[in-house]
Structure 1
Amino acid sequence: MPSRWRTALRALVAVVVVSAGLGGTVVWQNTYALREGKVVLHHRGQPLEGVLALPRHGRGPFGLVVFVHGDGPVDATHETFYRPLWEAFARSGYASLSFSKPGVGGSGGDWLDQSMDDRARETLAAVAWARGRPDVDGRRIGLWGASQAGWVLPKVAARDRGLQFVIAVSPAVNWLRQGRHNLLAELDRDGATPGEKETALRRRETVLNLLDRRASFAEYRAVTGDTDGMTSARWAFITRNHRSDATADLRAVHGTPLLLVLAGRDVNVDVADTEAAYRDLLPPASLAVAHYPGATHSLVDEDLERSDWRLTLTALFAPRRLYTDGFLTDQARFVDRLPPHRGGVAAAPETTKYPETRRP
């Protein structure tokens, strides 16, 4: 065999070995201490397909965390990014239940046809379905939701007084205030001039007037000239929901233990406004607030989220480290400290690395 062939063969073997090693690492890092099973809930004549993730060991009945998605066409696993959370809860003896949104995966319907009330009724149906399972402790069911779920979680908790807890991650209180904050925060981030900000705010007022008049999508396009990203279905969804406000529902939640999770680098939500509202509307004894100063809206550190290549490599080789330091531990710690059933509140997470974490 010529020497150059031997050299090429050695190089090929090295590539195969390295590739196999990296592949094994990816598989290992994306293997979780869970028992996942597909489930189907029929709600309003449509199937909702989802995943029930049980702790790896034990027969139950387990406590249960029901996941409520944020905006967009989210599948049951949120493209696998829920699994580190499911594993954290499983280590505390809690199963996790998550359904794909209507029109996503095998779920029927269309999530863009929903109001926040529709989403709340869907979540209540999921909780009722779970209470009928022998492997679920119906007295230890709570909700976990992020972002847009902030308008769903309080509705559900106000209507189902048997819920053990709620975890609200990066929620807003008022849709319109949230939208204005998001617009200005993104303009600031992108270095917009005062004139550009003024133009953007005027355009926003034009759009709000159209929404209040329930203008058609055709009129929206004629007035704004916008064809970037907005669709007729999305316009209808925004028209239906843009007046959402969680104030009344939060007031009705009363004493359900609630963990409010806020990110210091959140351009989507005004975290100061959210915290002030939650503290004003909820009994202090039932509210715990956890701050993560370096994290973005998605609870990923800002420097990681801004680097596409680092984000991709982390997702592949260390998916549990996508979330900001302490977040997964604090989620599990919150449920660990819950009273066995309703009545009382878990202590706020003691995240010593984040001195801004506050204890009510």
Structure 2
Amino acid sequence: MRKAFVVTLAAVVLVAAALAGVVLWQNSYDLHEQRVAVPADGRLLEGVLATPAQGPGPFPLVVFVHGDGDVDATHDGFYRPYWEAFARAGYASLSLDKPADWLSRTMDDRARETTDALAWARTRPEIDGNRIGLWGASQAGWVLPKVVARAPAPGVAFVIAVGTAVNWHRQGEYHLRSELRAEGADPARVADALRAREATLALLRRGATYEEYRASPDADPDLGPERWTFIGRNHTADASADLRAMPPVPVLLLSGADDLNVDGAETEAVYRELLAPGTLTVRRYPGATHALVRTPVERSPWRLPLTALFAPRSLFPSGLLADQRTFLEQQKRRAPGNARDDVPMRPRSGRLLGRG
């Protein structure tokens, strides 16, 4: 009996050690990370500068601009597969922790933070200051065009936009309708939800206080005062004017076909209308969500954490990391100031809250 127990215990230990080894292996990335402190819009933001493991540089750089929420520099490790793919294309990546008071910030504040991060990066000897681009997700769609349109010379070299929207109100209505459709809501429920949304928008338009909002019959009990203030400061966001003012830089627009938050088709149509001809490349991934995670994985309460732990690179749809790596390699091959890619990429088959 004792011998059987010892054998069983040894087997358990071996399995645990093997699983720990898999986790360590899958979460080891071919890049070098260093913590940095970046002066940005009057404050010091902590972050991570990830550089290729080989070569001294100077490296071209991708500056990350977060979506909604309280996000640290690594996005709890979610960004590292991106950083590794970018490092293999010869690029460094810079990502900053969101400030603790991020709910007090406007999209203009966030654009200033990003512009200051670009200026800081150009002081670094390991960075090629003439080849710095932006990567931004979801809510960053109201930040990226501001930065590109206003950045001082040498400006922004390229943009990767992931699940971005154009107009805050249209995005919110799309989000609401898509969630109701996914829940199988009947027409009466949809009509009631849209009426409640319009009533809340009326409060926002007249600058109602949080107390007034909470007294309304349609108030969301989970929406706190800081979030209400954030929405009040940002709900009129529309990227159209900034997109129109952007210089002709290459833009890679990525979206998931199963995105419930943002209408990727509308964003593509507006980008095609407003951006300079020949600058836009679009990739839309079947079976992928707003976060560009494989739909069956993200929508499973057990597959998502297990995949993130044991196979983080498998979170993403086929081709996502490779397409971005190809795009970045193309930017290295083209001369600064020329918006057209040298080699074409291979084709591949929130309600009102601004969340994403």
Q: Which band: TM-score by shorter chain?
A: over 0.9
The residue number in structure 2 matching 1:130 is 121
- How big is the shift at 1:225? 5.6
Tell me if structure 2 keeps the 8 A contact 1:140–1:340.
no
1:89 partnered with 2:95: no
CA distance in 2, matches of 1:67, 1:213: 34
CA distance in 2, matches of 1:62, 1:228: 48
User: SS of the counterpart of 1:70?
Assistant: coil
CA distance in 2, matches of 1:121, 1:145: 15
- How big is the shift at 1:10? 0.5
Tell me if structure 2 keeps the 8 A contact 1:290–1:349.
no
The residue number in structure 2 matching 1:319 is 312
- How big is the shift at 1:350? 1.4
CA 113–179 in structure 1, closer or farther in 2 if over 3 Å, else same: same
1:143 partnered with 2:138: no
The residue number in structure 2 matching 1:98 is 95
The residue number in structure 2 matching 1:212 is 205
CA distance in 1, matches of 2:306, 2:336: 41
- How big is the shift at 1:98? 0.2
1:239 partnered with 2:232: yes
The residue number in structure 1 matching 2:102 is 111
1:63-82 paired onto structure 2 within 5 Å: 63-82=60-79
- How big is the shift at 1:307? 1.3
Higher relative contact order (CA 8 A, sep 6+): 2
CA distance in 2, matches of 1:246, 1:19: 50
Tell me if structure 1 keeps the 8 A contact 2:307–2:314.
yes
Tell me if structure 1 keeps the 8 A contact 2:104–2:230.
yes
Provide structure 1 residue ranges, at least 5 long, that are not aligned to the other structure.
104-109, 355-360
1:345 partnered with 2:340: yes
Identify the match of residue 155 of structure 1 among 146, 166, 174: 146
Give % identity.
56
Tell me if structure 1 keeps the 8 A contact 2:61–2:127.
yes
- How big is the shift at 1:312? 1.6
Normalising by structure 1, report the TM-score: 0.93
CA 24–168 in structure 1, closer or farther in 2 if over 3 Å, else same: same
User: SS of the counterpart of 1:81?
Assistant: coil
CA distance in 2, matches of 1:179, 1:44: 28
The residue number in structure 1 matching 2:303 is 310
Identify the match of residue 284 of structure 1 among 259, 277, 282: 277
Tell me if structure 2 keeps the 8 A contact 1:172–1:270.
yes
Moved more, 53-62 or 288-297: 288-297
Tell me if structure 2 keeps the 8 A contact 1:290–1:348.
no
Identify the match of residue 254 of structure 2 among 261, 264, 281: 261
Tell me if structure 2 keeps the 8 A contact 1:182–1:268.
yes
CA 138–313 in structure 1, closer or farther in 2 if over 3 Å, else same: same
Tell me if structure 1 keeps the 8 A contact 2:200–2:218.
no
User: SS of the counterpart of 1:239?
Assistant: helix
Tell me if structure 1 keeps the 8 A contact 2:41–2:116.
no
User: SS of the counterpart of 2:83?
Assistant: helix
Amino acid at match of 1:124: T
Aligned residue pair count: 344
CA distance in 1, matches of 2:284, 2:124: 35
CA 18–48 in structure 1, closer or farther in 2 if over 3 Å, else same: same
CA distance in 2, matches of 1:15, 1:277: 56
The residue number in structure 2 matching 1:107 is none
Tell me if structure 2 keeps the 8 A contact 1:52–1:95.
yes
CA distance in 2, matches of 1:349, 1:181: 30
CA 132–315 in structure 1, closer or farther in 2 if over 3 Å, else same: same
User: SS of the counterpart of 2:62?
Assistant: strand
CA distance in 2, matches of 1:181, 1:43: 33
CA distance in 2, matches of 1:96, 1:224: 46
| 1:10-44 per-position Cα deviation (integer Å, ceiling 9, x unaligned) | 00000000000000000000000011000001234
- Give the RMSD, CA atoms, in angstroms: 1.1
The residue number in structure 2 matching 1:41 is 38
The residue number in structure 1 matching 2:19 is 22
